[in-house]
Structure 1
Amino acid sequence: MAKSIMIQGTMSNAGKSLIAAGLCRIFTQDGYRVVPFKSQNMALNSYITDDGLEMGRSQVTQAEAAKRAPDVRMNPILLKPTSDKGSQVIVNGQPIGNMDAEDYFKYRNQLIPQIMEAYESLSQENDIIVIEGAGSPAEINLKQDDIVNMGMAKLAKAPVLIAGDIDRGGVFAALYGTYMLLDDSEKNYVKGTIINKFRGDVDILKPGLNMLRDLINIPVVGVVPYLNVDIDDEDSLTERFKRVKSQSLLDIAVIRLPRISNFTDFNALEHIDCASVRYISSVGELCNPDLIIIPGTKNTMGDLKWLRETGIEASILKHTAKGKPVFGICGGYQMLCEKLKDPYEVEFGGEMKGLGLIKATTVFTQQKIRTRVSGEFQKVDGIFKGLSGKHFEGYEIHMGQTDFTNGFTILTENNGRTKEDGASSGNIYGSYVHGIFDSDEVLFEIADALMKEKGYKYDRNSIFDSKSYKDKQYDLLAEALRTSLDMEYIYEVIDRGID
């Protein structure tokens, strides 16, 4: 059976996912067979495995760091928020329905057998399992029947390291308070703390580290610097939404929908060296971009309503009236249609007028489509006509079928089957395929076309290879953690387990 280590945090976005990914790479480099695990993940960024099952992207990232294929056992429960109080519940990669928070809290204990079946199966096949918690173990209102923090540590008999984010301030209070709110049996599982996202001279921090150690009698395992590694973000707390390249020739604006999902689709666009990728949520932020992207969403009709109420819809239509391009992905593709119908009340129920930029109708269905796809673009119109014949690959996750009339471009799979999961009309483009921008040749055609519109020639400095680029980032992360963490002590904790 595998040994384990668990990373918990004082709060969401304390850096649990990144530290877990870095440890996955370190243990893999050291010759161990490693897998990540998170019993329950709440996120709108998800992924479809080769066998058509859905899981959270943070465990996909950690699996890549461990040089392993994503496996739904790594994340047996995924919650995808559909509203402020409810989520779609996905168990072992398949949706079992929507639940509000109260109903789910009553139900979740019934999921422990599925969690342990996944965990024990992975444990039989591997040497080390790196477990990630969620939120904070000190949320005392949620501790009863916990299945993701200390509850999971007990089920797996996993030693715990607690990470705190010093960049937000109050890290000593957060780590001390988190530990002191644990009961005695839970405290026995905590074997160390980690200060994360530190900027400055560690020597100035040392008196505080010593005092924290003396107060809780738990060692500080390390101080991790604020890292600039480019690794996929877990959720909507990402700092990508605030990043802007200065003085970029190309301006790409992604609409930051309230329930935006799979925004990792656009990370590849950041590697167009002459482009900035901005996430905007108001008309004032939109300005005059070269390309507008409408991303995926967990609630297409609800976010389309928001698009109208904010005035962003009118701005998008003005943008298209100038002949400038718009690209919709998944829910954004559905919004481009003339009409959206929801006969089974998958979202709001009833019908809603779309943006009307593609002569098509989307009907929401009760069955969720989950599949990986690869193939080629057929003949593409408009500014991005250079995409014709170019290879794409990715995955689909959607509840809905889009049917359109003649004159639209669709995609062809490698098996020769034509799929009606993409369309173009002039400079309006849409597709259900997540990851469609990850190909280097697709990136080049988009950049080249946008630069030509501005009267420039696009000189590609280097070929962007997504796989090798990611691999280098994981190595950089591992190197930084080896330098800043006491890895000898961490290995001792793993070998010793729970006393």
Structure 2
Amino acid sequence: MAKALAILGTGSDVGKSLLTAGFGRIFHRSGILAAPFKSQNMSLNSFVTVEGGEMGRAQVLQAQACGLRPHVDMNPILLKPEADRRSQVIVQGKVWRTQDAGDYFDSKAEMFRYVRESYERLASHHELILIEGAGSAAEVNLRERDIVNWPVVRMADAEVILVADIDRGGVFAQVIGTLDLLEPYERERVFGIVINKFRGDRRLFDEGVAIIEKRTGIPVLGVLPFLRDLVLDQEDSVAIETDETETGIGFAPGKVNVAVILLPRMSNFTDFNALSAEPDVALRYARSPKEVVDADVLILPGSKRTIQDLEYVKGKGFGPVVASHVLAGREVVGLCGGFQMLGERIDDFHQVEGGGQTEGFRLLPVETRLHREKQTRQVQAEPLMSGMSDGETIQGYEIHVGLTSRRQVGPCFRILDQDGDREDGAVSPDGLVWGTYIHGVFDAPSFRRSWINRVRVRKGLAPNELADSESVTRRLTSALDEWADHVARHVDMKTVCEVLRLPAA
């Protein structure tokens, strides 16, 4: 059976996901066959594997760090919130059911069987399993219902590192309080502490390290300086919703200015990571209509609850702004649920989201009927829109529950399938309004550059070279190594390897 290292935290969003990815990259470069594992993830930011299974994006990043193809066993349970107390439950890549929180907690024994099954498959083929915890390691009120933290640690016989975030303040209370709330047998497994997101002169925290080590008796393995401009996928849109730099990006005349409407249940926000990394693009997430007024392109992103988010957007007053945006000769793009919103009508006959019909923005002559069966698959496609380079292809994936019919307009893409090509999306005759079901559409540098240049030319700017976008893609790809180098410089990996009885990384 594989050795196991669990990265648990003092709270949510303290850096567990990225530290797990950093460790994965370090071990991979050392020749150790490691794999990530998070038994249960709650996120609207999901990915579709080659086999058509759905899993959390954080474990996809971690798999890439370990040099592995993502597999649903790395994240056997994915909860996709539909309301404050209700989530769609994905088990080993497939929709299991939609449940209220209370009913889901009553399913602990059944869920943990799936967790054990996936873990044992991974552990039988790898030397080391990197376990990511969830929330706080000391959620004492949830102890009896936990299937993520200590039950998985015990199952895997894992050694534990505790991560705290000094940037949010109260790091002593985070660490000492968390450890004091643990059961003795849990605390015994914690062999080290990592302090994340430190700003300033590291020497100024030497006394802090000494205090933590004296009070807890556990060594601080590292103090990770805050790394600016790290371009790695974040676990969920909370990273956007709490970051003013994402929502307050300034538009500029010499750039392609893109506004993405921030939806309450926005999914797959990583669709825009590569686009926002382009030097000649200014991308902001807009909470109100005034934030999209000067945009060259307005994007409606994916949504877990399309009808509710459409009503939210209308209620916020975006409707007239979207219409005037098109009348002014500017572009509107819809991705997945956003594509459905651009149409004439969304029909929930099967009561996937509660039933009824909702009128869309009527910018494309398409109608959508929601179905209970979810479509999940990876795709390769050729762009069919004018102004795009001939012969280029994109790779992405579909996650949706709607079937959309198109009238009097052409498709955006031809999906290449060994069982026969098919068409995707819709584009208006003037090319200013288009929508697609394909996630990751902006990841390919050739498509991304062609599309950006099309907007630049419309704006009166000269097109830029493909090499510019290829450079962005290389930088995004190398970010994992940059992060791993950062972790290796500031964390005592020698001790980590000695505890795990592994060769020095």
**Superposition map of 1:302-341 within 5 A:** 302-341=308-347
> In the alignment, what sits opposite 1:342?
348
Aligned partners of 1:410 and 1:419 also within 8 Å:
no
Q: Determine the C-alpha separation between the residues in 2 that align with 1:340 and 1:440.
A: 33
Q: Determine the C-alpha separation between the residues in 1 that align with 2:10 and 2:78.
A: 21
Aligned partners of 2:348 and 2:354 also within 8 Å:
yes
* Distance apart, 1:442 and its partner CA: 1.0
Q: Determine the C-alpha separation between the residues in 2 that align with 1:20 and 1:467.
A: 23
Residue 130 in structure 1 maps to residue 130 in structure 2: yes
Q: Deviations over 1:2-42 (max 9, x none)?
A: 11111111111100011000000000111101110000000
> In the alignment, what sits opposite 1:369?
375
Q: Determine the C-alpha separation between the residues in 2 that align with 1:388 and 1:462.
A: 19
TM normalised by structure 1 equals 0.95
Q: Determine the C-alpha separation between the residues in 1 that align with 2:489 and 2:146.
A: 34
Aligned partners of 1:334 and 1:402 also within 8 Å:
yes
TM normalised by structure 2 equals 0.94
**Superposition map of 1:75-94 within 5 A:** 75-94=75-94
**Superposition map of 1:51-130 within 5 A:** 51-130=51-130
SS of alignment partner, residue 337 of structure 1 = coil
Q: Determine the C-alpha separation between the residues in 2 that align with 1:462 and 1:436.
A: 18
Q: Determine the C-alpha separation between the residues in 2 that align with 1:465 and 1:108.
A: 47
Give the letter for the 2:458 counterpart: E
Q: Determine the C-alpha separation between the residues in 1 that align with 2:355 and 2:164.
A: 43
> In the alignment, what sits opposite 2:302?
296
Q: Determine the C-alpha separation between the residues in 1 that align with 2:390 and 2:366.
A: 21
> In the alignment, what sits opposite 2:392?
390
SS of alignment partner, residue 238 of structure 1 = helix
Aligned partners of 1:402 and 1:421 also within 8 Å:
no
Q: Relative to structure 1, is the Cα distance of residues 108 and 468 closer, same or farther in structure 2, using a 3 angstrom cutoff? A: farther
Q: Determine the C-alpha separation between the residues in 2 that align with 1:134 and 1:492.
A: 25
> In the alignment, what sits opposite 2:239?
238
SS of alignment partner, residue 470 of structure 2 = coil
SS of alignment partner, residue 333 of structure 2 = strand
> In the alignment, what sits opposite 1:352?
358
SS of alignment partner, residue 277 of structure 1 = strand
**Superposition map of 1:367-446 within 5 A:** 367-378=373-384, 380-381=385-386, 385-386=387-388, 389-415=391-417, 417-425=420-428, 426=430, 427-446=432-451
Aligned partners of 1:145 and 1:151 also within 8 Å:
no
SS of alignment partner, residue 367 of structure 1 = strand
* Distance apart, 1:409 and its partner CA: 2.1
Tell me, which stretches of 5 or more residues in structure 1 are unaligned?
none
Q: Deviations over 1:40-66 (max 9, x none)?
A: 000000000000000000000001111
Q: Determine the C-alpha separation between the residues in 1 that align with 2:30 and 2:204.
A: 32
Q: Determine the C-alpha separation between the residues in 2 that align with 1:322 and 1:463.
A: 28
Q: Which is further off, 406-415 or 108-117?
A: 406-415
Q: Determine the C-alpha separation between the residues in 2 that align with 1:169 and 1:274.
A: 36
Q: Relative to structure 1, is the Cα distance of residues 281 and 387 closer, same or farther in structure 2, using a 3 angstrom cutoff? A: farther
Q: Deviations over 1:281-338 (max 9, x none)?
A: 1112222100011100100000000001000122111111112101100000010110
Q: Determine the C-alpha separation between the residues in 2 that align with 1:343 and 1:126.
A: 46
> In the alignment, what sits opposite 1:4?
4
* Distance apart, 1:83 and its partner CA: 0.9
Q: Determine the C-alpha separation between the residues in 2 that align with 1:190 and 1:467.
A: 38
Aligned partners of 2:306 and 2:341 also within 8 Å:
yes
Q: Determine the C-alpha separation between the residues in 2 that align with 1:86 and 1:163.
A: 29
SS of alignment partner, residue 412 of structure 1 = strand
1:249 to 246, 252, 255: 255
Aligned partners of 1:109 and 1:145 also within 8 Å:
no
Q: Determine the C-alpha separation between the residues in 1 that align with 2:444 and 2:255.
A: 21
Q: Determine the C-alpha separation between the residues in 2 that align with 1:252 and 1:401.
A: 28
SS of alignment partner, residue 364 of structure 1 = strand
CA RMSD in angstroms comes to 1.6
Aligned partners of 2:258 and 2:283 also within 8 Å:
yes
Give the letter for the 1:390 counterpart: E
Q: Determine the C-alpha separation between the residues in 2 that align with 1:97 and 1:462.
A: 45
Q: Determine the C-alpha separation between the residues in 2 that align with 1:308 and 1:463.
A: 35
Q: Determine the C-alpha separation between the residues in 2 that align with 1:462 and 1:343.
A: 46
Aligned partners of 1:193 and 1:220 also within 8 Å:
yes
> In the alignment, what sits opposite 1:210?
210
SS of alignment partner, residue 464 of structure 1 = helix
Q: Determine the C-alpha separation between the residues in 2 that align with 1:366 and 1:377.
A: 29
* Distance apart, 1:389 and its partner CA: 4.9
